[in-house]
Amino acid sequence: MTEIAHGSVVVLPGEAILSRWWRTLDKVVLFAVVLLFAFGLLLGLAASVPLAERNGLAPFHYVQRQAVFGSMAFGVMLVVSMMSPQVVRRLGVLGFALAAVALMLLPVLGTDFGKGATRWYSLGFASLQPSEFLKPVFIITTAWLMAAAAEPHGPPGKSISFGLLGVIIGFLAMQPDFGQAMLTIVAWSSVYFVAGAPIILLTGVVACVGLVGVVAYNNSEHFARRIDGFLSADVDPRTQMGYAIDAIREGGFFGTGVNEGRVKWTLPDAHTDFIIAVAAEEYGMIMVLCIVTLFAVITFRSLMRLCVERDVFIRLAGTGLTVLLASQAFINLGVAVRLLPAKGMTLPFVSYGGSSLIAMGLLMGCLLCFTRQRPQAEIGDHLLSNGFR
């Protein structure tokens, strides 16, 4: 016996792959992603021109690159969304192994591009940041391990995933990249929570995070400087945070007008970490609310579809990916309005960055795959099946 989740979708014999994909896809989420990328290109036209001028490049050099990277990201997203969850799971586990090796080799083969953190591989024509690709495939691997642990005589998947988390966080801290480390912990915790983690264990994880934060504050000048700046009652107007807050204040509700903003000429990361400051200054709170609404739509619709999903792996992986996307957006926006310490994190699909765009395309492709409408087995069938054969 089967029943249909997410609506009255039926499996049509001999139906073409593209036709079935389009019928079962969450088109609202897909449209929201397209709008986010369109906003990113629009804001890139404003924010990246000063940077191109400072670097002696063509005015729209970075916008053109963003369009190329974005096309690659959409290609990845569409292809992955057409796959079956089983294929995505297998590729995710393989991708995690490759991304983990790339992360571990960063201290030897990586570069910091003068930013004080060894996070990238220089490819000559572009750079590659392994941590961006590691996050979604780690969540898929974690979901697979925890789902397998729920099976009779299954492996200790929760313990294994916790060990993998510790290794990853250790290598991220070595870069240092505390922002990505924190984001990975949040996403992993969400998967663990949905899998039925004891509250006492999650409390212990939070306590460990706090302890690591204290150690990092006492041993990392870079980390301590950011925390001190965040806790300070006064904001230095000559810092990135000061410029961003002034820009948001200047924009008001309707903005100063297209190409009338000034923050892009002073903020070195106006096209990446602080792209929302450019949006707020030139297009006002209206643009910011539109972007926030799009992220809220993606998050809400994805979680609603996953709530009725009976496949344990799909439910865990989809939840983790949704939390990962929403948390990264929240952190980026929170930093811009000084709700959080500066993290150096991009706004998904909006900020400039090849690794970020393509990795987010991969994440959304997996999420669209997991939230596609499909026949659901009866709950008794799931309880009696071995699963993941």
pLDDT in tens, 114-158: 777 788 888 877 888 999 999 999 999 999 999 998 888 888 988
Split at pLDDT 50, 70, 90, the class of 51 is confident
**Mean pLDDT across the chain:** 84
Structure tokens at 255: 């903005």
Distance CA 362, CA 368 (A): 10
Q: How confident is the model at residue 10 (pLDDT cuts 50, 70, 90)?
A: low
More confident of the two residues 213 and 274: 274
CA distance 363 to 359: 6
Q: Is 386's pLDDT higher than 70?
A: no
Report the pLDDT value the prediction gives residue 383, as an integer from 0 to 100. Answer: 41
Rounded to 10 deg, the angle between the 312-336 and 354-370 helix axes is 140
Quote the pLDDT of residue 82: 94
* Residues belonging to the chain: 389
Under the phi-then-psi rule, with left for phi > 0, alpha for psi from -120 to 50, and beta for the rest, what region is 153? left
Q: Which residues on adjacent β-strands are paired with residue 127?
A: 122
State residue 8's pLDDT score: 46
* 3-state secondary structure (DSSP) of residue 363: helix
**Residue 128: strand pairing partners:** 121
Strand pairing partners for 146? none
Q: Is 14 exposed, middle or buried (0-12, 13-18, 19+ CB in 10 A)?
A: exposed
Q: Which residues does 187 contact at the CB level (< 8 Å), separation at least 6?
A: 135, 138, 139, 320, 321, 323, 324, 327
pLDDT at position 245 is 81
- CA pair distance 9, 130, nearest whole angstrom: 38
Q: Quote the CA–CA distance of 33 and 36 in Å, as a whole number.
A: 5
- Whether the model clears a pTM of 0.95, i.e. scores above it, the answer is no
CB 171 within 8 A of CB 104: yes
Dump strand ranges (E) for the chain: 2-4, 121-122, 127-128, 375-377
* Main-chain phi, psi angles of 226, to 5 degrees: -70, -40
Read off the pLDDT of each residue in 57-65 and give the average, rounded to a whole number: 88
